Structure 1
């Protein structure tokens, strides 16, 4: 993928979303800077969505058209000009449809031509779905998510073997490919909140026949700056741990994209696990920023209090996960 060098002279002004509105969060101990243990982040893609359909959150990157080489750039330019664009719910439904046949289609045969579209400071940016690539990445996570007998029932070994072989051949031809979308279920990782400020929070309550929306959006330059500062604070104040490792991973991922891209955290289906009052009162990015600032100033009590608010806020989500 081609990229144009350069760095914005000032933080870009966020524009309106072009895509139709579509779009939970529980705090896990391994996301806390003082945690002493970790569990691998659960990744929910097309192959596991049949179990956890509504409760997925997303971290997305939207790149300007200049970041793409031809003929893909022209494709996205035409695509962004459409009068009607698919939503995240459309993407999820299409992924689930592949699980209906017998045997199920673990990974789509063809890559998706769709994307989410947004504007950043008047510039059109796109976030390609890349459903096929994300399906392959999800397959790599499955063995750690399900017992062998359950996994074989959901996706027979012959189906997984064929998908793995297809992925290997594809990866040889596309060694630098990476997804524009990261996904997790039943929570929003604390490390994702590090990228955003409270004033970038967008909350729209459920209207007449509509769904609630809770998301954050920020220019790439701001996301990278906040991440670097938080990482420096953690390394200076606490032992290396899961949150530090997670921030390093997110930072490497963000470096793959155009410097004038847009970064979005979308609560996605988690808005259905929280009441309207809980959503309206949620200030998780502010709590994370306050906790890191407290660590920077040496106030571990205040850092612990900020983390405690996150834990308390998402007890209901944890309980709902256990109930399911």
Structure 2
């Protein structure tokens, strides 16, 4: 997989929930991890990923282990930073990623990357009930070499923002906002697009996002984690550009909509060109 600084160029959309949203086993696991720094969790996840990739036996699937939980602090109504949690759900997400890969490639290349023996062993390790539960409530979505424009609809430029730097480089930027607010933004955009531009793929993307977010508590928090791509685009006005573009379409202002799209294209097309060149 293409990477920057040895890390995959992946962005994430994560839903975080309060402790009481999880079952007893998960709550015990969370309580054992909640004091760990976010940077330590990310490093544990990265190291585990590299270990799977570098195995002498071609088998990129994870082994059954206690799930990692990320912690996000977000202000409550009275301004007190409150912890919210997001399970990594690696076993299930690996299964979905492998299925997507198998739909795009086949033959010797698929066998080299995902040998049938590895796929069979992974199927045997999966817990059927856990798989069903996780698929019904998947907390994480990911995108490679770029961020879907629909994700930006969910956030505004004045949302909680965390800039993470290391050795003079931006390693990620994280935006966070309440899920109910993100859903309201998406629904507003859908209402505008359904009238002004019903042919846009963005309309279907937003409808899918609204359906996904409906699985979480109204008090949940949504996070957009840019990942390494942040170093290529930040500071980034994409949330504002997408919003202004949709507003322009709703007002029949094609010039304004085109200007918003050009700004987005100038920012993100070079990123996607890097993906093709890597």
State TM-score, norm by structure 2: 0.86
Q: What's 2:186 paired with?
A: 227
User: Is structure 2 residue 83 aligned with structure 1 residue 124?
Assistant: yes
CA separation in 1, counterparts of 2:168 and 2:190? 42
Secondary structure at the counterpart of residue 116 of structure 1: strand
**Structure ranking higher in strand proportion:** 2
CA separation in 2, counterparts of 1:260 and 1:311? 34
Are the counterparts in 2 of residues 106 and 163 from structure 1 also a CA contact under 8 Å?
no
Residues 241 and 84 (structure 1), Cα distance of their counterparts in 2 relative to 1, 3 Å cut: closer
CA separation in 1, counterparts of 2:41 and 2:197? 41
Query: What displacement does 1:146 show?
Result: 3.0
Query: What displacement does 1:191 show?
Result: 0.7
Secondary structure at the counterpart of residue 62 of structure 2: coil
Q: What's 1:311 paired with?
A: 265
Q: Which has the higher contact order (CA 8 A, sep 6+)?
A: 1
Cα deviations across residues 113-165 of structure 1 (Å, max 9, x unaligned)?
Answer: 21110122232111111111111111110123334321111121222233345
User: Is structure 2 residue 146 aligned with structure 1 residue 191?
Assistant: no
User: Is structure 2 residue 68 aligned with structure 1 residue 114?
Assistant: yes
Query: What displacement does 1:240 show?
Result: 4.1
User: Is structure 2 residue 14 aligned with structure 1 residue 60?
Assistant: yes
Query: What displacement does 1:180 show?
Result: 1.3
Cα deviations across residues 4-28 of structure 1 (Å, max 9, x unaligned)?
Answer: xxxxxxxxxxxxxxxxxxxxxxxxx
Q: Which moved more, 1:110-119 or 1:286-295?
A: 110-119
Query: What displacement does 1:203 show?
Result: 5.8
Cα deviations across residues 41-92 of structure 1 (Å, max 9, x unaligned)?
Answer: xxxxxxxxx4454311110111110111213223313321346863334313
Query: What displacement does 1:211 show?
Result: 4.0
Work out which of the residue numbers 246, 271, 296 in structure 1 matches 2:230. 271
User: Is structure 2 residue 163 aligned with structure 1 residue 204?
Assistant: yes
CA separation in 2, counterparts of 1:243 and 1:84? 32
Query: What displacement does 1:208 show?
Result: 4.6
Cα deviations across residues 179-223 of structure 1 (Å, max 9, x unaligned)?
Answer: 211111001000110100011263637455664432211011111
Q: How does 1:91-102 map to 2 (within 5 A)?
A: 91-102=45-56
Residues 307 and 112 (structure 1), Cα distance of their counterparts in 2 relative to 1, 3 Å cut: farther
**Structure ranking higher in helix proportion:** 2
CA separation in 2, counterparts of 1:237 and 1:211? 37
Q: Which runs of 5+ in 2 are unaligned?
A: none
User: Is structure 2 residue 95 aligned with structure 1 residue 136?
Assistant: yes
Q: What's 1:150 paired with?
A: 109
Residues 212 and 174 (structure 1), Cα distance of their counterparts in 2 relative to 1, 3 Å cut: closer
CA separation in 1, counterparts of 2:53 and 2:265? 34
CA separation in 1, counterparts of 2:257 and 2:39? 42
Note the aligned Cα RMSD (angstroms).
2.4
Q: How does 1:272-291 map to 2 (within 5 A)?
A: 272=231, 274=232, 278-280=233-235, 282-291=236-245
User: Is structure 2 residue 206 aligned with structure 1 residue 247?
Assistant: yes
Q: What's 1:43 paired with?
A: none
